Structure 1
Amino acid sequence: MRRLAAVAILVLATLTACSDDTADKPQPLDDWTQVDVSPAEPVTLTAHDSQLLVGLRHRGAKVVPELMSYDSTGKRTPITVKPNPASPYAFEAIWYSIAYDGQQLLALGGASGGAHSNTRWTVWTGTPQTGLVEQPQNFWTFGGQTAGDLFSAVRTPSGGALLGTWGGVQTGNDAMVWLPQRDGKWVRQDPTKTALQSTPSLLVGPGFGTTLGDSIVLVGSQVRLAPNTVAQEAAVWRSTKFNQGWTRIVLPDPGSRSQANTATCAKDCVISGYVDGQLAIWQLDASGTAKRLQGVPSVPVGDKDKLPPPILDGGKVVQVVAQDNKVKVLTGRDGQWTVQDALGPEGKVTDAVLMPDHKLYLIAGTSLWYTTLS
C-alpha cells in the first residue's frame, strides 16, 4: 500500500508540474486570417484611427502601384493613383513609404532604372477622396553623383517632408530633409552646422523616419572615427519643430555595435534595432531621455534584416519579428516579456500595425494577415 501511495504521489506531482509548465507557456497565436489582395502583393501599411491603407505592387509588371483603404468593417475602397504621363518610372514605382494624417497623403515611390539600376524616386500627394497625384521632379532633386538614399515620407502639423541621406557637406553622407515648394518641387535643406551633418570624426547614418507631434524623428546609427578605433552606436536625431533645432541622442547600452532600425512615437518613442546582433528595444521620452528596455527576448537581428516598427498598445510594446521565416509576436514592457508563435504567417515580416479594434495586421513574405490581440 505504501508503494502504491508513493507511486500515486509521484504521478500526481509529475502531472501537476507538466500542467504548470503548460500554463506558464504563452499560447501560440493561431487565429489568423489572410487578406486576399491578389494578384497584387502588399508592401506598406499605414494606419490612422480606424482607417488602414495598404500599398500594393504588381511584381514583374509595369502596372501603376495601387493603394487600398480598409475601414473597421473590412470594406475595401481603392484610392486613385495618378502618375504623370511624362514620368516613366512612376508607372513602375514600388511604394517605400506612405504618410497619412487623416487628411493629406504623402507617398514615396521608387523604381530601379538607368545604366546603374539606381532607384528613381517619385513623390505623390493628395487625399483619399481625390487620389494620389504624382509630382514630377527633375533628375537632380533626388539623383546625381552625390545622391544618397530616401527612406521615409512623413507628415506633421507644419506639413510634409521626405527623409533620407545625401553626399556630405564635409565627408560621408549627411542626413537629409526635402521640403515642398508652392510649385510642387521638392528642395533639399541645408544640414550645415546641424546635428544632421557628418564630420571627419563622426558619420551620421539614419535609415528610418517618423514624427512626434510637430517634431521629425530619425533613427539609425552614428559611427565615431578615432585613430585605430571605429565605433557604431544606435542613435536618434530629433527636431524641436519640423526642420528646426536638430539634436542627436546616442541610445544607451550600445554594446560593441548597435543600430536603431525603426521607431513609433506617440507621447514617447519606442525604437527597435539591434545590439551585438540581438534584438534591442529602447524608449525615448519627450525630454530626450532614453533607456534600453531590459529582458527583451533573444532574437538574432542582422545588418540586412528589416524590423517592422514597434507597436504601442496601452502600456505595452508589441514587436513582430521573424526568425528562420517563423513569425513571432513579442509583447511586454521593461523587464517583462512574452513570446508567442504566429501559426499562419510565414516569411520575412516587413510591416505591422495595430488598429483600434485590436486587430494586428502584418505583411509576412508576400501576404497580408491579421489577428485579434487579446
Structure 2
Amino acid sequence: MRRLTLAVLLVLTGCAPTGGGDSLGFAAVDLSATPETLATHGNQLLVGTRPADHPELVVRGENGALVNSKLIPTTPYGKEAHWYGITSDGTTITGVGGERGGAHGNVRWSAWTGDTRQITEKPQGFSTFGGYGAGELIGPVRTKQGPLIIGTWQSDKAGLDIAVWTYAAETWSRQPSLGTVLESSQELLRFPLAVTPNGDGALVVGWQIAKGAVSAAVWQFDGKSWTTATLPDGDAALAARCWDGTCHVVGRSKGKLAWWSGPEWKKLTTPDVPVGDDAKLAAPVPVNGVPTLFVDHNGVKAVSEKEERPANGLKGEVVAAEAVGGEVFVIVGGRLWRAA
C-alpha cells in the first residue's frame, strides 16, 4: 500500500490542521446516490448505493473511474432493496439486500451474485431467510470454501442461534447450529452483530448473556469448524477487520470504546471515547500500517491505540470504512470520502 500518514483528517487538502503533524485531506467522491456499504474487489472499491427507490452497485477502478455494475433484480423486494452487505473474493461478488414490507413490516431479503459487469438477484424460497423462526441477516462474507451469509434463526433450545447459510447451485442453504458453538441455550444466549473475512474462514463478533452476565464475544470459522471466545472486560463487540494475521475488534465496555487484538484477544488501552448502547461502529482500517477507527465523537475522529485526532469538516454517522489500493475511503454523513 502507498504510505498514508495518520494525522488530522481534513475534508479539503490545504485546510489548516488543528492537532499538529502532517495532514491527510479527504475529498468527496461524487456519487449520484447515497452510499450504504463498502467492499473491496481486488484493487477496486465496491460501493453499494441506493437512489430514491432501488439499489445500485458502483465500481471504482484503480484509475478512479466510477462505473455502475448492471443490476438485475428478480423479485419486487429486490427491486427496492437497501444494501446490508457486500463481499468479494476478487472474482465473484456476493451481496445481501433487504427492504421492509408485508403485514408485519419484516425485512424481505434478497441475495445477489455476479461480478463488476453484472450482479443478479438469485431468487430463494421464502423459507430460506424468512417465515416462522426467521431472525435477521448480518451480512455476507467470503471464505476459501465459498461465500457464507451470517444471521440468526430460532434456536431449538432458547432464543436465537447464530445461523450460517452456504451457497451452491444458486441456492442458499441454512446449516444446523445445534451442537455447535453457534447455538443458544437457556444458560447462554448469543447475539451476532458483524462478520468479516479471516484467513480461509470468517470472524463473527457480537455479545452474549449467561446467567445475567453480559460479555463481548467472537465466533471463528477456520474453514472447517467454529470456535468461540469471550473478550475480556467487554459488553459487546460491534465491528471487526482482519489483516496480516491479526484481527482488530472494536466495541463497547461500560459505555466506552473497547478494542481487542486477536488471536490472543488482548484488550488494548485506547483514548476515552463514549460508545452508547445503540451505537454502531465501522470496522477499523490500516492507515500507514496503524489500525485506525473512524468514529463520530463530537465530530469525526481518527482513533488508534495511541491517540485520537479530529477530522475537521467530516460530520455525521460513520457508516463504513475501507482501505484499497493504498487509499482510504469512508462513508460519513451520507457521502463517500476519499483520503486525498
> Do these two structures clear the TM 0.5 threshold for a shared fold by scoring above it?
yes
**Among candidates 144, 147, 152, match of residue 131 of structure 2:** 144
1:202-246 C-alpha deviation (Å, 9 max, x unpaired):
111111111212222110011112xxxx111000001221xx321
- Structure scoring higher RCO (CA < 8 A, sep ≥ 6) equals 2
Aligned-residue offset at 1:277: 0.8
- Structure with higher helix content: 1
- The answer to whether structure 1 residue 52 and structure 2 residue 39 are counterparts is no
How far apart are residue 24 of structure 1 and its match? 11
Equivalent in the alignment of 2:218: 236
Matched, 1:330 2:330: no
**Aligned partners of 1:348 and 1:365 also within 8 Å:** yes
Which structure has greater strand proportion? Answer: 2
Q: Is the 8 A contact 1:152 1:210 kept in 2?
A: no
Superposed counterparts of 1:56-205, under 5 Å: 56-59=49-52, 61=53, 63=54, 65-84=55-74, 87-129=75-117, 131-182=118-169, 184-205=170-191
Check conservation: 1:44, 1:54, Cα contact below 8 A. Answer: yes
**What is the distance in 2 between the residues matched to 1:330 and 1:56?**
26
Q: Is the 8 A contact 2:257 2:272 kept in 1?
A: yes
Residue number in structure 2 paired with 1:208: 194
Which segments of 5 or more consecutive residues in structure 2 lack a partner in the other structure?
1-16
Question: Aligned residue for 1:250?
Answer: 230
Q: Distance in 2 between matches of 1:24 and 1:117?
A: 46
Question: Structure 2 residue aligned with 1:33, among 9, 22, 27?
Answer: 27
TM-score, length basis structure 2: 0.91
Structure 2 residue identity aligned to 1:298: D
CA deviations on 1:175-210 (whole Å, 9 max, x unpaired) are: 00011232x221110011100000111111111111
Number of aligned residue pairs? 323
Q: Describe the superposition over 1:10-57 as per-residue Cα deviations: whole angstroms up to 9, x where unpaired.
A: xxxxxxxxxxxxx9944595722111112x100011124421111100
**Which structure has the larger Rg?**
1
2:77 aligns to what SS in structure 1? helix
Task: Could you tell me which runs of 5 or more consecutive residues in structure 1 were left unpaired when the two chains were aligned.
Answer: 1-22
Report the TM-score, using the length of structure 1 for normalisation.
Answer: 0.83
Aligned residues of 1:29 and 1:340 also touching (Cα < 8 A)? no
- Distance in 2 between residues matched to 1:149 and 1:135, nearest whole Å: 19
Question: Is 2:227 the counterpart of 1:259?
Answer: no
Over the residues paired in the alignment, what is the CA RMSD in angstroms?
Answer: 1.8
CA distance in 1, matches of 2:98, 2:282: 19
**Equivalent residue of 1:55, what SS?**
strand
Inter-partner Cα distance in structure 2 for 1:265 and 1:24: 31
Moved more, 190-199 or 339-348: 339-348
**Percent sequence identity over matched residues?**
37
> Which of 253, 257, 266 does residue 291 from structure 1 map onto?
266
